[in-house]
Amino acid sequence: MKHIIVLNLLATTKKNSVLKAKRYLLKQSHQFRTKLDA
C-alpha cells in the first residue's frame, strides 16, 4: 500500500516540475522577444 502513495507523490512532483519548466521557458522566451523588439 505504501509504495502506491510514493508513486503518486513522484508523479505529482514530476508533473509540478514539468509545469514549472514550461512556465520558466515561457518567461524566458517572453523576455527574449521583448529584447528583440527593443
Query: What total number of domains does the chain contain?
Result: 1
Measured distance CA(4)–CA(11) in Å, rounded? 11
pLDDT tens for residues 17-30? 999 999 999 999 99
Structure-model confidence comparison of residues 20 and 1, the more confident one = 20
For residue 11, what pLDDT is reported?
Answer: 95
The parent domain of residue 24 ranges over 1-38
Q: Residue 38: is its pLDDT beyond 80?
A: no
Measured distance CA(35)–CA(29) in Å, rounded? 10
pLDDT tens for residues 2-21? 889 999 999 999 999 999 99
Task: Note if the pTM is more than 0.75.
Answer: no
